[in-house]
A and B are shown apart, each in its own frame.
Chain A
Amino acid sequence: MSAVETSKTQPGGEPLLAVHGVETFYGKIQALRGVDIEVHRGEIVTLIGANGAGKSTLMMTICGNPQARSGQIVYNGTDITNLPTHDIMSMSIAQSPEGRRVFPRMTVMENLQMGAILEDEGYFEDDLRKVFELFPRLKERQGQRGGTLSGGEQQMLAIGRALMSRPKLLLLDEPSLGLAPLVVKQIFEVIRELNANEGLTVFLVEQNAFHALRLAHRGYVMVNGSITMAGTGRELLAREEVRSAYLEGGAH
């Protein structure tokens, strides 16, 4: 499984996030089997793979919960492999995790305030305005409890909350899950804007491989806890294995 076919168009320089040979276990079950991934500054990188491949596990391992049993994770030049989660998150990494995990008994505003606990209070008003510009829906709903929002609104809140910490690296785990096509489009548009206008680096896990690969600069394919393919979004989209396995209406 180590025969990773790497594209020659990888950007050079020190990556913002580098994952080397990471193995993660849940008890005796091995979920990641030596994963290597790099995310460079200003990139959108996507990770696709079937259910149970280990995508969410990789996202959470980057954040230190669970911690990698072997291998190394380097962020911005610092080895974060064995740091506690709250220390990792204080280094300008934010995650909108699988399942959104909006605080159900807190208002939209309180959820956003939770996103900003690591930040200087002076930025709060500014950041709040930006998030409300990206998702005007949240502004209308600011007094409503998170648990009573619709799925799409919860996703907007989860992303907005992650942005409130002014991240350099944004980890998004399946932001399109369960959303209407129009909302998916809107959320992908926001990601594109943030990347283009603010230079935000994004590492994105997606089931929606077609959209994700079109959006991303580069992509990785994960099968059974290992990376089996890597390349630019365009390259991966063109490949037969990707089309048949991950794109509906692929060559069959």
Chain B
Amino acid sequence: MEYFLQQLINGVTLGSIYGLIAIGYTMVYGIIGMINFAHGEIFMIGSFIALAVFLALAALGITFLPIVLLLMVIVAMICTAAWGWTIERVAYRPLRGSFRLAPLITAIGMSIFLQNFVQVTQGARVKPLPPQIQGGITLMDSPNGIVVQLSYIQIIIIAMTIVLMTAFSLIISKTSLGRQQRACEQDRKMASLLGVNVDRTISLTFVMGAALAAVAGMMFLLYYGVIDFYIGFIAGVKAFTAAVLGGIGSLPGAMLGGLAIGLIETFWQGYFSVEYKDVAAFSILAIVLIFLPSGLLGRPEVEKV
């Protein structure tokens, strides 16, 4: 029981990170029907920028943790947002309206380029960050020696995810910007006939997804303490899987899919073996898609219009 609880906490933490990345995939897919394969790299770059900010502040002698964390996340969000905007501008927009696979190919190219760029400039070795947030709350201390602990960093990750998800859902469902994004998703031509600047709305969607990925990248850095140029690929594939599992195009679906993948992976690792944890996640994805082709919360293809 204690072991189960501990795995649950770990799984939810990991799932939160996947969920935040998955939102970027799902939103971009929703609005332009394209998988932005470079999104995982945006997450990776977010974590590198957070680390760079940390090191720069340390060199300046600024070590007051709340300030350091705040600056890390703000700078990382701004930089990745700029990256997201640039990628859309140079790699995807010129191809809008051409055949469907063209942007997919540039997306993969962009992904490889960003990975190699970081590998060359930052080196291929892992970069460590000394643990910053230590300790936690002991929830259970059973006599057989198994301790259930909710660490402070886990609390921060889960709380931050809840806050961001809530804010994000409100933006999409209640604000004029969110309505414009949904309008572009449903009928781009009509949206422009109502005065929506479609290109700008698409850019903003990339920017928002990238900013969330940056938060995920920084939390990954704080949680695991090591990053390298390759983390974007692995986390990206998982988050993409999460988005598909939840129903690509659906925001709550992305979150649910993220949680599901995080939990599956953690439990598999906890009860069976580390080796096959990724296989488990993908197998479950395959099974779900057989029975629910549009994912857990995706909308079915047929609809009365």
- Interface positions, chain A 116-158, Cβ under 8 Å from B, are 117-118, 147-148
Which residues of A lie under 8 Å from residue B163 when comparing CB positions?
none
Q: Say which residue of B182, B187, B196 sits within 8 Å of A86 (CB atoms).
A: B196
Number of chain A residues whose Cβ lies closer than 8 Å to a Cβ of chain B? 24
Contact, CB under 8 Å: B193 / A113: no
Cβ distance B160 to chain A, nearest Cβ, rounded Å: 29
Q: Say which residue of B182, B198, B299 sits within 8 Å of A103 (CB atoms).
A: B182
Whether A97 is near chain B, meaning CB under 8 Å from some CB there, is yes
CA distance A179 to B68 in the complex (A): 64
Q: Say which residue of A84, A104, A161 sits within 8 Å of B194 (CB atoms).
A: A161
Whether A101 is near chain B, meaning CB under 8 Å from some CB there, is yes
Which residues of A lie under 8 Å from residue B198 when comparing CB positions?
86
Whether A63 is near chain B, meaning CB under 8 Å from some CB there, is yes
- Interface positions, chain B 142-192, Cβ under 8 Å from A, are 176, 179-180, 182-183, 186-187, 189-192
Interface residues on B, range: 20 to 34
- Interface positions, chain B 116-133, Cβ under 8 Å from A, are none
Contact, CB under 8 Å: B187 / A117: no
Whether A105 is near chain B, meaning CB under 8 Å from some CB there, is yes
Cβ distance B39 to chain A, nearest Cβ, rounded Å: 24
Which residues of A lie under 8 Å from residue B305 when comparing CB positions?
104, 147
- The answer to whether A85 and B193 touch (CB under 8 A), given A101-B187, A106-B183, is yes
Contact, CB under 8 Å: A117 / B176: yes
3 tightest A-B contacts by CB?
A89-B195, A101-B190, A118-B195
Which residues of B lie under 8 Å from residue A101 when comparing CB positions?
187, 189-190, 193
- A103-B186, A161-B194 given; name 5 further pairs at CB < 8 Å: A63-B193, A85-B192, A85-B193, A103-B182, A147-B303
Contact, CB under 8 Å: A65 / B194: no
- Binary interface encoding of chain B residues 266-305 relative to chain A, with 1 for a CB under 8 A from any of its CBs, else 0: 0000000000000000000000000000000001000111
Which residues of B lie under 8 Å from residue A118 when comparing CB positions?
194-195
Contact, CB under 8 Å: B186 / A106: yes
Whether B197 is near chain A, meaning CB under 8 Å from some CB there, is yes
Which residues of A lie under 8 Å from residue B190 when comparing CB positions?
97, 101, 103
Which residues of A lie under 8 Å from residue B304 when comparing CB positions?
104, 147-148
DSSP majority for the A interface?
loop
Whether A24 is near chain B, meaning CB under 8 Å from some CB there, is no
Contact, CB under 8 Å: B179 / A113: yes
Contact, CB under 8 Å: B186 / A104: yes
- Binary interface encoding of chain B residues 62-90 relative to chain A, with 1 for a CB under 8 A from any of its CBs, else 0: 00000000000000000000000000000
Name the residue of chain B whose CB is nearest to the CB of A105. B186
Which residues of B lie under 8 Å from residue A81 when comparing CB positions?
none
CA distance A3 to B198 in the complex (A): 41
Q: By CB atoms of chain B within 10 A, which of A85, A110, A161 has the most?
A: A85
CA distance A101 to B193 in the complex (A): 10
CA distance A89 to B176 in the complex (A): 17
Name the residue of chain B whose CB is nearest to the CB of A121. B176
CA distance A138 to B261 in the complex (A): 43
A-B residue pair count with CB separations less than 8 angstroms:
67
Which residues of A lie under 8 Å from residue B196 when comparing CB positions?
86, 114, 117
Name the residue of chain A whose CB is nearest to the CB of B193. A95
CA distance A38 to B165 in the complex (A): 52
Whether A57 is near chain B, meaning CB under 8 Å from some CB there, is no
Name the residue of chain B whose CB is nearest to the CB of A95. B193
Whether A115 is near chain B, meaning CB under 8 Å from some CB there, is yes
Name the residue of chain B whose CB is nearest to the CB of A63. B193
Between A and B, 15 residue pairs with Cβ closer than 8 Å are A84-B192, A85-B192, A85-B193, A89-B193, A104-B186, A105-B182, A105-B186, A106-B183, A115-B194, A117-B194, A118-B195, A147-B305, A148-B304, A161-B194, A165-B195
Contact, CB under 8 Å: A114 / B303: no
- Binary interface encoding of chain B residues 196-216 relative to chain A, with 1 for a CB under 8 A from any of its CBs, else 0: 111000000000000000000
Cβ distance B177 to chain A, nearest Cβ, rounded Å: 10
- Binary interface encoding of chain A residues 59-103 relative to chain B, with 1 for a CB under 8 A from any of its CBs, else 0: 000010100000000000000000011100110000101000101
Q: Say which residue of B189, B194, B197 sits within 8 Å of A114 (CB atoms).
A: B194
CA distance A97 to B188 in the complex (A): 13
Name the residue of chain B whose CB is nearest to the CB of A119. B195
- The answer to whether A106 and B195 touch (CB under 8 A), given A65-B189, A101-B189, A147-B305, is no
Contact, CB under 8 Å: A106 / B192: no
Which residues of A lie under 8 Å from residue B299 when comparing CB positions?
105
Name the residue of chain A whose CB is nearest to the CB of B176. A117
CA distance A205 to B206 in the complex (A): 38
Which residues of B lie under 8 Å from residue A161 when comparing CB positions?
194
Which residues of A lie under 8 Å from residue B187 when comparing CB positions?
101, 103
Which residues of B lie under 8 Å from residue A106 when comparing CB positions?
179, 182-183, 186
Name the residue of chain B whose CB is nearest to the CB of A148. B304
Which residues of B lie under 8 Å from residue A95 when comparing CB positions?
193
Name the residue of chain A whose CB is nearest to the CB of B191. A114
